[in-house]
Structure 1
Amino acid sequence: MRTLYVHIGTPKTATTSIQMFCVENQEILNEQGYSYPLLEFTYPHVANRRNGHFLVGWLYKLNGEEDVEKEQELWDEGLAMIHKEFEKYDNVILSDENIWHASNGRKFPFWSKLMEDAKEYDYQVKIVVYIRRQDTLANSWLSQQVKEGWNTNSTIKWDSFQQKTRKVVFNYYLLLEKIAEVTGRENIIVRIFDRGKFKGKDHTIFSDFLEAIGVDYTDEFKITEEEANRSLTGNSQEILRIINTILPDDVNVRTLVRESAQDCENYKDPQNNFVMFSEEEFNKFMGRYEKWNKALAKDYLNQEEPLFNMKRKEGERWTPNNRFMYEDMVRFFGGVVIRQQRHIEELEKEITTLKDSHLETIERLSDKELDETAKNVLQVLAEQVTKQQKDIQRALENSDKIDAVKDRSQEVKVQSLTIGNELIDVRQDQDKLEKVMKKDYENLKERDKELKAMIRELEQTSLWFRLRRKWRHLTGKDAQ
């Protein structure tokens, strides 16, 4: 029977990596009768590889009101996409980590609508859900909020979050039971997100996922990115969390500081390996879900053994004033300055290339072509130079918003002044070029006047000779 596989997360269980894997191996999946279609429409902050987002996506009008009509329109388009794929393949895969949490809120009725559509169009729905130990989910989820930077959770302190979790569903069993009331337990495939428990040929998240949906994992499958969305921990997360409190709503700026925070994580001292829960906090936190995890293992996995390995990672509990914080702060702000420097160097190259290309073009023009195109060339050059100036100014303004970077960016500012002087030289060259063009234009006008005068003189001379011939013919005498 035709089957729709809906991969719903949970968050921070390599969902992005699975989606990228499916996109990259679309042709191989097709050969085995599976399709991973990409959305032809988009949602804010949502990549089109998240092809199941239309099931629960929110859309808003300019006044902030929910756009229910538009949501329904995209829902219909999404279902039409599924129906079209079923004409070619027996299995269709949808994936979006947001479905998990959305199922716990006002979007939950979508499950009934989806099951109704499945009944009408004769296909079955299978739900694939990955779950991980709740304390590790807490770490990774908050890290993701901080990395994204634009949402309301991006500035929450760790101690506050772990005491009162926000918007995160850690009780897997209760939500799965809620979904099962609509879809049936038999249609829910639960997998454990634990590198020691992955199944399939290679015991990776990819071989495990393919086994869950019934795909043969062959050597033809390609893996470009094994870990597409690494988490921040400890100091790198805390530094970025604080920076989020002052960041403007600018994608370029957020990308710059996020990459610098990732440097802190990637190049930190090997001994900088703190844990986020003390032993007491760990036992208290995991104790909230102990009985529910046992019920999930029994009812969905048919096993009596514990759902997760409950051995806590050993290590010192992280605090903001730990001995590596200063080192990581220097590394972070150094990364910001280095990235700004690279950006400025790219702008310098673009300005030089732009200047040279326009000058070469002007030199090849004839006087007539120069007269016709000079104004357009000058206007384009002026617009391009102005744009480059704005880009540099924006980069400098963004660096000014981070006080700690000011002291480390003096060299960048000096170089930007040098670029400013070069821009002045470019404008001066423009002025000189315009003067030359104007002078050539005036010369052309003078030559045109002279030519017209010569033509009039020739016309008058020609008329005089014609009159003389006529007078001679009539009178037989020469005209005086």
Structure 2
Amino acid sequence: MSTVYIHVGTPKTGTSAIQVFFTKNRKLLKEKGVCYPNLGFDFPGINSNRNAHCLNAYIYDENHKRLRDRERETADQALEKLIGMLDRFPNFVLSDEQIWNNKDINTERLNHYKEKLAEAGADLKIIVYLRRQDLLIQSYWAQQVKENMTTSFSDYLVSKKAKYFKLDYQKRLKEMADAVGRENMIVRVYEKQQYYGGNIISDFLHLFDLEMTDEYKQSDHVVNASLEGACLEVKRLLNNNPRFTTKLNFVVPMLTTIQQEMVGEGGYSTGKYFSEKEHAEFLEKYREGNEKIARDYLGREDGILFKDEVVTEGDGEAETYSAEEMVEILGKIIVMQRDRILQKNEELAELKAPINGIKQKVKNLAHKVLDR
């Protein structure tokens, strides 16, 4: 009997890194009995590494109206493709972080997936990584600022956008457990000190009794690197200019490089976005539910789910970095852009050199012909 594992996030818990790793090592993982299948679906703006997106994709018509029947049909088609592979491997992994926050992936829908797989002789298990709620909401706000948002963290915290997140983990886990059974819920904590092997990839592999070894291909860059602190505030302010609001605009790689350099030099202010009062009130909302998760899913009688220290600094994001630091960052952007222009000019000159040589030869030849 095969087992299908659906990795549902949560967002901002290393899902991109896991998806890239499993895609890069698809062949080797198959040899070890773990299949990360490509089910053959493509969705605009969605990386193909997210191989479970077909189970919860939003599909629209030309008038941007949700086609919910089409969405369910697509999910069922994906399941049929998966079922056709079940006799080839003992374990299958599907991953998409949108599943966690997608309200349409409810108990009824998950139960439907479970029944379809059960009819084919497969079990369904759900893998979820939980990040402390204050850190997750800060990380997601930072991601949106990195793209194009201008809203401050304090305003974001009380906005409708923030309410999109299912931060009541205990409630969301119950919805899923009611479909697949609590015994089929694999709950892990997104904290380095709680990872098996000290990193997210080793921890995920260990769920399948696999160890991280040198035989695996690893990404040579940070997947979806974050901006924070002063570099993030610079980007938020620049977002008021339309030139900087495209998702992959030119300033983000420069800010990422600058941040890495400044962190290496020391003294870089990463920023904490909650005030002390906001922070305490925010965490208190989820304390009881988190304690219940620790007891019910991890067997921790002390009720401690998250072990990292809670750190609060300042009264708001504007007071966590200095004007001097932000001006320094802007200066670095100007210098980097100037250096890039100079480099491009040098490369252009090198490309033009052979052409200019040919032009001169043609010119000399023309003179000789005319002088005859």
TM over 0.5: same fold?
yes
Note the C-alpha offset of 1:54: 0.9
CA contact (8 A) 2:154 2:316 kept: no
CA distance in 2, matches of 1:80, 1:107: 18
Corresponding residue of 1:135: 134
One of 255, 259, 262 as aligned partner of 2:256 = 262
CA drift of 1:110 comes to 3.4
Q: 1:72-471 maps to which residues of 2 (within 5 A)?
A: 72=72, 74-102=74-102, 105-108=103-106, 109-149=108-148, 154-163=149-158, 165-199=162-196, 202-225=197-220, 227-247=222-242, 254-268=248-262, 270-305=267-302, 306-309=304-307, 311-313=309-311, 315-320=313-318, 322=320, 324-332=322-330, 334-335=332-333, 338-339=336-337, 342=340, 345-346=343-344, 349=347, 353=351
Task: Give the length in aligned residue pairs.
Answer: 360
Q: Given that residues 8 and 99 in structure 1 are in contact (C-alpha distance below 8 angstroms), is that contact kept between their aligned partners in structure 2?
A: yes
Q: Deviations over 1:257-307 (max 9, x none)?
A: 222332343233525243223333222111101111111111111111211
Distance 1:261 1:249, change over 3 A: closer
CA distance in 2, matches of 1:80, 1:349: 52
C-alpha contact (below 8 Å) 1:128/1:212 kept by paired residues: no
Q: Does 1:24 align with 2:24?
A: yes
Aligned runs of 1:1-20 on 2, under 5 Å? 1-20=1-20
- Tell me the CA shift for residue 167 of structure 1: 1.3
Q: CA deviation at 1:56?
A: 0.9
Task: Note the C-alpha offset of 1:131.
Answer: 0.4
Greater shift, 262-271 or 113-122, is seen at: 262-271
Query: Which residue identity lines up with residue 90 of structure 2 in the other structure?
Result: D
Which amino acid letter does the alignment assign opposite residue 275 of structure 2?
S
Q: CA deviation at 1:171?
A: 0.9
Q: In structure 1, give the amino acid aligned to 2:6.
A: V
Whether the 8 Å contact between 1:6 and 1:127 is mirrored in structure 2 is yes
Q: Which amino acid aligns with 2:317?
A: T
- Gaps (5+ residues) in structure 2? 367-372
Cα 1:354–1:94, aligned 2, differ >3 Å: closer, same or farther? farther
Whole-angstrom distance in 2 between the partners of 1:173 and 1:300: 10
List runs of 5+ in structure 1 lacking aligned partners: 365-428, 430-435, 437-480
3-state secondary structure, aligned to 2:183 = helix
- Greater Cα shift, 15-24 or 333-342: 333-342
- The letter of the residue matching 2:185 is I
TM-score where L is the length of structure 1:
0.66
Q: What SS class does the counterpart of residue 16 from structure 1 fall into?
A: helix
Contact 1:274 1:318 survives alignment (8 Å): no
**Residue identity in the other structure for 1:308:** F
Change (3 A) 1:71 1:344: farther
- Mapped contact 1:155–1:244 kept (Cα < 8 A): yes
Q: Aligned partners of 1:81 and 1:112: how far apart in 2?
A: 18
Which residue of the partner structure matches residue 370 of structure 2? none
Closer/same/farther in 2, CA of residues 63 and 348 from structure 1, 3 Å limit = farther
> What CA distance in whole angstroms lies between the structure 1 residues aligned with 2:244 and 2:84?
38
**Aligned alpha-carbon RMSD (Å):** 3.4
| Distance apart, 1:230 and its partner CA | 2.9
Q: Is the 8 A contact 1:263 1:335 kept in 2?
A: no
- Cα 1:62–1:300 shift into 2, 3 Å: same
Residues 234 and 318, structure 1, Cα contact 8 Å, conserved in 2: no
* TM superposition shift of 1:77: 4.3
Shift of 1:176: 0.6
SS of 1:295's partner is helix
Per the TM alignment, residue 349 of structure 1 is displaced from its structure 2 partner at its CA by 3.9
Deviations 1:87-106 (A, max 9, x none): 4212111111111101xx23
